[in-house]
Amino acid sequence: MTTETANGSDQVALQRPGKRQRLAAFCSAVGVLPGLTTLRRVLRKDLRILAYHRVLDVGNPDAFAFDLNEISASPDQFREQMLLVKRYYDPIGFHQLIAALDSGRPLPPKPLIVTFDDGYDDNYHVAFPILRELGMSAMFFVSTGHIDSGMPYAYDWLVHMLCRTQVERLQVDELAFDQAMPATLAGRRALGKELLFHLKALDAITQAAVIARLGEAWGMRPDRHAQCRPMTWDQLREMRAAGMEVGSHGVHHHILAKLSPADMVTEIDQSMRTLQREIGAPIEVLSYPVGGPDSYNPQVIEAARRAGFRMACNYVTGLNRLPATSHYGLQRLSVESDMDIDWFAAMTSLPEVFAHPKRVRAG
């Protein structure tokens, strides 16, 4: 979450604690969370899956011309969060989850999986060393087409164009957008967030056409950029050899339910084939790009099952009851950069109260 100051600059940290943050600080101060978490475990068995995108220290946000909402944590925040996970939970991988479900053996009492979406190179340069240092693992869901090309993700590039364009108005006929371009970088990022929310309601081909048309009109064709770069195959292979897991996030990060049936199947099958060829190991888990309720449907689930995926994650906030009943609709808890450690602890303990609310499109 970002806030805009009087001089129009962005700040990643909250200026004033919100209600959830204040309540989390109170719960931490009085020490009630451990007891509530223990009581919850007695009443029900849950699997927690944390969702990250980028771990990055931006420094000066005015010099960072990409989407701040994609930054889940700073390096210091991430290390502190992983230390808390090690202390209070039982970190596992998807291979352990699948093996337990296949064999009927119980999971550890407090299972938790760490995941990353998209495949940004700061996952390799920042998050991976911290995980390795702490003896932990995580699942990295990557979009294979971007690993191949090294090009930024389309939604990131759209925000980048909004941050840097010199045009005075934003016009998108498909969405009835016609408004003056904000003067501040914070205003442009806010506009980008709103534009992306509505753009993702369109079919995938129209989304791509809108982004390409704006790039042509503004003279800003996609190009490799140091601030928004995917990992490489060599980096992914190194990470997997060190104990990390790799899964699919599609080929081009298209919303699968918004592709034609044939294109959707191709996107899923091709991502599987490419990952198996490049990683040299079975690929069993898929993360639906964008991941909201309108991002996948029974046809997508069936295509994933036929391709050989054993499980799939969405981006819907929640815990997963054990034993798992829906292997292709695993919910996650998104980690946001404005979470201090008390809030993170409260969110992982009682997400119904402390998780970030999400704006949801209709299916």
Whether the CA torsion 140, 144, 147, 153 is positive or negative: it is negative
CB distance 191 to 182 below 8 Å: yes
Q: Are 142 and 263 contained in the same domain? A: yes
Last residue of a domain, one of 188, 218, 248: 218
Q: Are 107 and 193 contained in the same domain? A: no
Q: Are 187 and 235 contained in the same domain? A: no
- Report pLDDT for 362: 61
Q: Which of 100, 128, 48, 136 is nearest to 310 (CA)?
A: 100
Q: Are 186 and 70 contained in the same domain? A: no
207 domain-assigned: yes
Q: Which of 283, 281, 259 is nearest to 272 (CA)?
A: 283
5 domain-assigned: no
- Mapped onto helix, strand or coil, the DSSP state of residue 14 is coil
* Residues facing 51 on adjacent strands: 115, 334
Q: What are phi and psi of 102, to 5 degrees?
A: -70, -40
Last residue of a domain, one of 194, 218, 242: 218
Last residue of a domain, one of 190, 218, 246: 218
Q: Are 309 and 234 contained in the same domain? A: yes
255 domain-assigned: yes
Q: Are 181 and 94 contained in the same domain? A: no
Q: Are 309 and 206 contained in the same domain? A: no
Domain membership of residue 102 as a residue range = 14-150+229-354
Give 217-242 as a 3 state SS string.
Answer: HHCCCCCCCCCCCECCHHHHHHHHHC
- Report pLDDT for 76: 97
Instruction: Look up the CATH number of the domain holding residue 350.
Output: 3.20.20.370
* Residues facing 248 on adjacent strands: 142, 286
Q: pLDDT (tens digit, 0 to 9) for every residue of the chain, 363 residues total?
A: 333 333 333 433 334 568 888 888 878 888 888 777 777 777 788 999 999 999 999 988 888 999 999 999 999 999 999 999 999 999 999 999 999 989 988 899 999 999 999 999 999 999 999 999 999 999 999 999 999 999 999 999 999 999 999 999 999 999 999 999 999 999 999 999 999 999 999 999 999 999 999 999 999 988 899 899 999 999 999 999 999 999 999 999 999 999 999 999 999 999 999 999 999 999 999 999 999 999 999 999 999 999 999 999 999 999 999 887 679 999 999 999 999 999 999 999 999 889 987 787 765
3 domain-assigned: no
Q: Are 162 and 107 contained in the same domain? A: no
How far is 272 from 308, CA to CA, in rounded Å?
8
Q: Are 185 and 256 contained in the same domain? A: no
Report which residue type is found at 293: P
9 domain-assigned: no
In a 13 Å sphere around the CA of 61, the CA atoms on its Cβ side amount to 22
361 domain-assigned: no
Q: Are 255 and 347 contained in the same domain? A: yes
- Report pLDDT for 81: 98
359 domain-assigned: no
CB distance 168 to 181 below 8 Å: yes
CB distance 287 to 248 below 8 Å: yes
- Mapped onto helix, strand or coil, the DSSP state of residue 1 is coil
Q: How far is CA 328 from CA 302, 303, 316, 352, in A?
A: 9, 11, 12, 21
Q: Are 121 and 176 contained in the same domain? A: no
- Mapped onto helix, strand or coil, the DSSP state of residue 299 is helix
How far is 327 from 330, CA to CA, in rounded Å?
6
Cβ-proximal residues to 105 (8 Å cutoff; 6+ apart), any chain:
99
- Mapped onto helix, strand or coil, the DSSP state of residue 258 is helix
Q: Are 316 and 189 contained in the same domain? A: no
223 domain-assigned: no
Domain count, the chain: 2
